[in-house]
């Protein structure tokens, strides 16, 4: 019964992700609808934009892992998928909170599409609460996992003729040993794909703007990869020295600070950001400062713990 309940909760999370993504794409990609959206401006738009790409990525890997639901390693798989669905639902919830804040803060005349968007927001919010309760009931004790998502990737790949030759245990071991490099590469590829689409769609020609947005997208995806892996155990990484763990945590803190600085740049530095160079200096300056402070604090704490 517990396994069935977890499966239902995960499926409910996927349904919520589909509903959220459909409404988000509708609100952001249709020009007439976006013009009447309460959350078309920062800081609300930053949260929506991040979730618009992160939620479907999480949903995709969860859906793919369902193909191995009955394979060996069931308890680990169930708990990891519940945690991944919980992370996805939390991301949806944070974005919905930003959208509700926009509804209350933005002073614009409401049109027909505004009422449609707010109605969809209300429906999605109710569904998110229901899914969050379902996932909370499925939480189990935190134990050290013996299986990760890579094993299931090999299992599914071994059943697929085209990629069967690459489904070797050595490939998964290599990814586990070089997880940080894989996360960096995946983040860079995702950033290039997203920014490339923006350049084509928005007809950008300013190299400085493109470089800044590319760097911002990279930091957002890198933070997403590291946080999601810590929560859901996509890649079971080998034991690492505490100095390296502290360094990675500092990088995550800096990447998150960059996103916050981008979202709230007008509120933090009113009248200061007048060019791309100003935006880059302030946002990445905030990220570098946060990384440095977090690194010092974590290193100090680590040395005290070592004693």
Query: Which residue shows structure tokens 């979202």?
Result: 263
User: Using one digit for the tens of pLDDT, what is the confidence trace for 36-52?
Assistant: 999 998 889 999 999 99
The answer to whether residues 240 and 172 touch, using CB atoms and an 8 Å cutoff, is no
pLDDT value of position 300? 82
Residue with tokens 């069967």: 164
Residue whose tokens read 């020295």: 241
265: phi then psi, degrees, rounded to nearest 5: -60, -40
Across residues 215-224, what is the average pLDDT?
A: 95
pLDDT tens for each residue of 254-297: 999 999 999 998 888 887 888 899 999 999 999 999 999 999 99
Separation CA 216–CA 299 (nearest Å)? 26
Angle CA 192–194–195, to nearest 5: 65
Lookup: tokens for 19: 């509903």
Residues 6+ apart with CB under 8 A from 2: 138
What would the two tokens of residue 186 be? 């995946």
Question: What pTM, to 2 d.p., does this model score?
Answer: 0.86
Nearest alpha carbon to residue 53 among 24, 32, 80, 79: 24
pLDDT tens per residue across span 76-135: 888 889 999 999 999 999 999 999 999 988 877 889 999 999 999 999 999 999 999 999
Contact 286, 257 (CB under 8 A): yes
């Amino acid at each position: 019964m517990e396994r069935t309940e977890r499966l239902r909760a995960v499926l409910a999370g996927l349904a919520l992700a589909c509903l959220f993504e459909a409404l988000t794409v509708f609100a952001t990609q249709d020009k007439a609808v976006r013009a009447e959206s309460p959350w078309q401006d920062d800081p609300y738009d930053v949260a929506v934009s991040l979730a618009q790409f992160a939620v479907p990525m999480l949903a995709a890997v969860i859906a793919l892992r369902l193909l191995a639901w009955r394979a060996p390693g069931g308890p680990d798989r169930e708990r990891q998928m519940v945690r991944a669905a919980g992370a996805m639902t939390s991301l949806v919830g944070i974005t919905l909170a930003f959208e509700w804040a926009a509804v209350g803060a933005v002073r614009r005349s409401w049109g027909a599409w505004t009422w449609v968007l707010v109605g969809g927001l209300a429906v999605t919010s109710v569904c998110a609460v229901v899914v969050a309760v379902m996932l909370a009931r499925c939480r189990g004790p935190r134990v050290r996992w013996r299986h990760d998502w890579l094993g299931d990737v090999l299992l599914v790949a071994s059943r697929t003729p085209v990629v069967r030759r690459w489904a070797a245990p050595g490939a998964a071991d290599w990814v586990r040993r070089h997880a940080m490099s894989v996360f960096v590469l995946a983040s860079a590829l995702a950033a290039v794909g997203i920014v490339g689409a923006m350049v084509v769609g928005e007809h950008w020609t300013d190299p400085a703007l493109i470089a800044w947005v590319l760097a911002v997208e990279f930091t957002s995806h890198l933070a997403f990869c590291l946080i999601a892996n810590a929560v859901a155990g996509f890649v079971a990484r080998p034991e690492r020295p505490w100095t390296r763990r502290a360094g990675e945590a500092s990088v995550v803190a800096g990447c998150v600070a960059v996103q916050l600085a981008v979202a709230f740049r007008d509120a933090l530095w009113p009248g200061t950001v007048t060019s791309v160079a100003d935006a880059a200096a302030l946002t990445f300056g905030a990220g570098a400062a946060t990384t440095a402070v977090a690194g010092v604090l974590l290193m100090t704490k680590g040395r005290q713990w070592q004693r």
